Amino acid sequence: MLKMTKSAYTIQLSPTRITKLDALFQIPLDKDGGYIAAFIPDNPSDKNAYLAKHTKLLNASSIN
């Protein structure tokens, strides 16, 4: 885990796990979260498509 501290903010990075996908799916659904997200799919509320895409990415040995 990487811990970075700057000013009053502390950021901790950790590996993404399949168990975290439900929480990560909620970010682009939030008005502010969708605004700050770099890339949003055409249908951000399609949870099955989101889970299929990111489960495939997390299972790819060339990525993780």
- The C-alpha atoms of residue 63 and residue 25 are separated, in whole angstroms, by 19
Q: How far apart are CA 4 and CA 39, in angstroms?
A: 24
Distant-in-sequence, close-in-space partners of 30: CB < 8 Å, separation ≥ 6: none
Pairwise CA distance, residues 53 & 46, whole Å: 11
- Tens of pLDDT, residue by residue over 2-55, are 565 656 677 788 888 999 999 988 877 887 777 777 777 888 899 999 999 999
Reported pTM: 0.65
What are the structural domain ranges in the chain?
16-64
Look at residue 5 in the predicted model and tell me its pLDDT.
Answer: 60
Single-letter residue type at 61: S
